[in-house]
């Protein structure tokens, strides 16, 4: 028997010869023939081969196809010079009608059946072990888990994604993503970083295949798509006879790993934490991230000279939009009844930004609803109807109201039957929404208490802090808006009347803009940028299915435009929404004229 110590430096053809002679006492090929590609193996009857190839192309994250043989061909000349697939894996599994009926060291006794079978060689993450060596260091097979995420089905081939997990120190997350992102034939970049529960994995100590890998303090579980997905597809298709490699016992090729040099910012991934409970990181290209930072800079100007520059926190727009991008269902709130002496008391900053966000969310096929004050329901319903007629919204947005009736009212509103494990919304957005101050009152910028006009929607944001998986964003321009509690110390120090008016309720992310509507427009544009970022799109869909870029024109048409916003502002003025600073019923927002100020900002953002 050969010792395992020097196996990583042996050439592939030497290793295959040793494996062929059944002279290795090891359980997997992880770390062997360092620098060379390894392959998962699936062997199916020729009648299933075309459909399985389509299944691979439709799910190229877990199933990157390296080579498809002809029926009865036991060699793979483009991958190796002298191989025989019947003998050159450490161990095989045999499946009959979906059931594993044996583990085999050789397939030679099935040579007759193999004459009508096709071999698929699929890329394997063992090819990048040198970059992320945790399981090699711990001298064990990699951990593999079945997830709750369905692959794209083709004919009889359907299954959930299988992933590998490697623990990576948080400080090295970006390096691990960068090292693997261009190795697309070895599954490419991770498909998830953080809480395994978000993939439907309940217990990391109990992998479905392979060995458990120990996490050290500070390690983050990082998951890559896995070729064992092909094994699950074989099981589910219930073919009369099929063979696969035994998980971890790969076919070692003569092909060297590509030394890929990432060339442009479009190809360079960045990693950002978007949630602590559950722990969740997202990926975006450096190019897309820079575009979103530019949006943040554009909206951060202070036309009213109120001192909002002191409230700005870098990268909040990017992180907020990454979180929203991962959300399935979003709840938006707006409404600041600053003009208490008028009926209606609403100002016209807030609703346009809220509708701009709602429009892009609809285009991205997310669920979206708006919650507002009970007294303003009919008014807001009319505005939503007009937004549909103007082409701003594809369809009406459900309009909700919230009243406190008991201690658990907020939880009952946000979650099915009040169960924190079943939230109705993944993300809450407040834009130019009156926020509760430390004394429990609601103040406009002039220190006037308008509590009698405001429903306690803040309670939803406070409750969201206790619900795992629900994140929040606050958009404001003065510090008295819902969500600005995150920067309340700066509000008290730098904003006029800040010691009284500062909102006390925090959001996870705080987007500060010169005018709140601009923050809404920027969120819409940032979500468009993320949706057209190939790196982020792949991460969102977990490297299964197809890119969504064909919907680009639909997303583009949902963005705000000068024409749409002009028509909307005219409708708001017609319904009595007034400029925040001057209370005028003119084409202005916060005392700034629509033409040449707001219209110019919209053009810049687009």
Q: What is the CATH number of the domain that holds 63?
A: 3.30.2040.10
Read off the pLDDT band of 548 (50, 70, 90).
confident
Q: Angle at CA 514, nearest 5°, toward 510 and 517?
A: 75
Residue 399 has pLDDT above 50, yes or no: yes
597 in a structural domain: no
* C-beta separation of 173 from 223 below 8 A: no
Query: Quick check: 129 and 137 in contact, CB under 8 A?
Result: no
Whether 498 and 364 map to the same domain: the answer is yes
Which residues, other chains included, contact 77 with Cβ-Cβ below 8 Å and sequence gap of 6+? none
* Within-domain flag for 265: no
- Per-residue pLDDT at 133 exceeds 60: no
d(C-alpha 205, C-alpha 215), whole Å: 10
Contact 589, 515 (CB under 8 A): yes
556 located within any domain: yes
Q: How far apart are the first and last CA of the chain?
A: 66
Pairing of strands 509-512, 471-476: parallel
User: What is the structure's pLDDT at 84?
Assistant: 92
Residue 195: is its pLDDT beyond 50?
A: yes
CA separation for the pair 555, 525 (Å, rounded): 10
By the 8 A CB rule, do 519 and 511 touch?
Answer: yes
CATH number at residue 554: 3.90.1640.20
Residue 606 belongs to a domain: no
Contacts (Cβ under 8 Å, ≥6 apart) of 73: 119
Round to whole Å and give the CA distance between 26 and 212: 17
Which of 347, 343, 335 is closest to 455 using CA atoms? 335
Q: Do 322 and 419 fall into the same domain?
A: yes
Q: How far apart are CA 290 and CA 286, in angstroms?
A: 6
* Full domain range(s) for residue 498: 270-579
Q: How confident is the model at residue 260 (pLDDT cuts 50, 70, 90)?
A: low
Q: Confidence band (pLDDT; 50, 70, 90) for 134?
A: very low
* Per-residue pLDDT, 129: 61
pLDDT mean over 350-369:
98
pLDDT at 36: 87
Q: Which of 60-64, 263-267, 279-283, 465-469 has the lowest average pLDDT?
A: 263-267
Residues 220 and 300 in one domain: no
127 and 229 assigned to the same domain: yes
Secondary structure of 310-339 as H, E, C letters: HHCCCCHHHHHHHHHHHCCEEEEEEECCCC
Confidence class for position 127, pLDDT limits 50, 70, 90: low
Whether pLDDT at 135 is above 50? no
Element (H, E) at 431: strand 427-433
Domain check: are 275 and 233 in the same one? no
Residue 12's pLDDT is: 79
Question: Are 161 and 274 contained in the same domain?
Answer: no
Looking at residue 594, what DSSP letter applies?
A: I
- Looking at the structure, tell me whether residues 561 and 455 fall in a common domain: yes
Beta-strand relationship, 329-335 and 427-433: parallel
Please report which confidence band the pLDDT of residue 25 belongs to, taking 50, 70 and 90 as the band edges.
low
pLDDT category at 152 given cuts 50, 70, 90 is: very high
pLDDT, residue 1, reads 40
CA distance 224 to 201: 13
pTM of structure: 0.93
State yes or no: pLDDT of 172 exceeds 90. yes
Average pLDDT of span 558-580: 96
pLDDT > 90: percent of the chain: 82
Going by C-beta distance under 8 Å and a sequence separation of 6 or more, which residues neighbour residue 51?
154, 155, 156, 157
Cβ of 215: how many Cβ atoms within 10 Å? 16
Return the ∠ at Cα 170 (arms to 168 and 172), rounded to 5°.
65
With beta carbons less than 8 A apart as the criterion, state whether 332 and 431 touch.
yes
- Cα separation, 155 vs 49, in Å, equals 11
Q: How far apart are CA 63 and CA 226, in angstroms?
A: 7
- Asked which of 222, 256, 290 is the last residue of a domain, the reply is 256
Helix axes 351-363, 377-389, angle to 10 degrees: 50
- Degrees to nearest 5, angle at CA 214 with 209 and 215: 120
Take residue 146 and report the two structure tokens written for it. Answer: 């079945």
């Amino acid at each position: 028997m050969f010792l395992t110590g020097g196996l990583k430096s042996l050439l592939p053809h030497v290793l295959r010869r040793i494996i062929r002679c059944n002279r290795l006492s090891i359980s997997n090929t992880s770390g062997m023939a360092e620098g060379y590609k390894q392959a998962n193996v699936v062997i199916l009857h020729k009648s299933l081969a075309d459909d399985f190839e389509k299944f691979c192309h439709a799910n190229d994250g877990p199933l990157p196809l390296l080579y498809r043989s002809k029926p009865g061909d036991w060699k793979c000349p483009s991958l190796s010079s002298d191989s025989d697939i019947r003998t050159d894996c450490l161990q095989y599994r045999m499946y009959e009608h979906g059931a594993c009926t044996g583990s085999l060291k050789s397939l030679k006794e099935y040579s007759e059946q193999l004459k009508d079978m096709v071999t698929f060689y699929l890329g394997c993450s063992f090819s990048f072990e040198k970059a992320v060596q945790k399981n090699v260091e711990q001298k064990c097979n990699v951990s593999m888990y079945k997830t709750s995420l369905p692959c794209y089905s083709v004919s009889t081939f359907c299954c959930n994604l299988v992933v590998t997990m490697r623990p990576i120190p948080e400080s090295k997350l970006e390096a691990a993503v960068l090292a693997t992102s261009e190795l697309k034939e070895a599954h490419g970049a991770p498909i998830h970083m953080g809480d395994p529960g978000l993939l439907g994995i309940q217990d990391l100590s109990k992998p479905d295949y392979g060995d458990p890998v120990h996490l050290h303090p500070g390690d983050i579980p990082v998951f890559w798509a896995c070729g064992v997905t092909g094994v699950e597809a074989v099981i589910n298709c219930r073919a009369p006879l099929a063979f696969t490699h035994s998980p971890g016992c790969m076919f070692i090729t003569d092909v060297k790993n590509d030394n890929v040099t990432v060339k442009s910012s479009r190809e360079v991934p960045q990693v950002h934490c978007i949630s602590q409970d559950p722990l969740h990181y997202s990926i975006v290209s450096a190019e897309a991230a820079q575009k979103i930072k530019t949006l943040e800079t554009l909206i951060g100007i202070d036309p009213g000279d109120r001192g909002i520059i002191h409230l700005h926190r870098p990268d909040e727009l990017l992180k907020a939009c990454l979180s929203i991008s991962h959300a399935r269902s979003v709840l938006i709130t707006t409404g600041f009844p600053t003009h208490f002496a008028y009926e209606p008391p609403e100002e016209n900053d807030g609703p346009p930004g809220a509708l701009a966000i709602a429009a892009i969310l609809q285009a991205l096929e997310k669920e979206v609803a708006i919650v507002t004050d009970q007294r303003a329901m009919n008014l807001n319903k009319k505005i939503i109807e007009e937004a549909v007629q103007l082409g701003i919204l594809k369809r009406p947005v459900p309009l909700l109201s919230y009243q406190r009736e008991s201690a658990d009212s907020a939880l009952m509103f946000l979650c099915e039957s009040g169960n924190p494990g079943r939230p109705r919304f993944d993300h809450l957005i407040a834009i130019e929404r009156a926020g509760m101050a430390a004394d429990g009152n609601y103040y406009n910028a002039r220190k006037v208490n308008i509590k009698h006009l405001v429903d306690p929607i803040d309670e939803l944001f406070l409750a969201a802090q206790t619900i795992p998986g629900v994140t929040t964003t606050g958009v404001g321009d003065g510090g008295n808006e819902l969500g600005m509690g995150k920067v309340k110390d700066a509000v008290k120090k730098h904003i006029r009347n800040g010691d009284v008016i500062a909102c006390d309720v925090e959001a996870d992310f705080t987007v500060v803009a010169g005018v709140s509507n601009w923050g809404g427009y920027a969120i819409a544009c940032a979500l468009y940028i993320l949706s057209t970022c190939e790196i982020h799109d792949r991460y969102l869909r977990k490297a299964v299915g197809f890119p969504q870029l064909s919907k680009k024109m639909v997303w583009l048409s949902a963005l705000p435009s000068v024409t749409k916003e002009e028509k909307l502002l005219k409708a708001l003025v017609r319904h009595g929404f007034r400029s925040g600073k001057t209370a005028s019923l003119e084409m202005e927002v916060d005392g700034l004229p629509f033409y040449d100020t707001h219209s110019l900002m919209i053009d810049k953002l687009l």
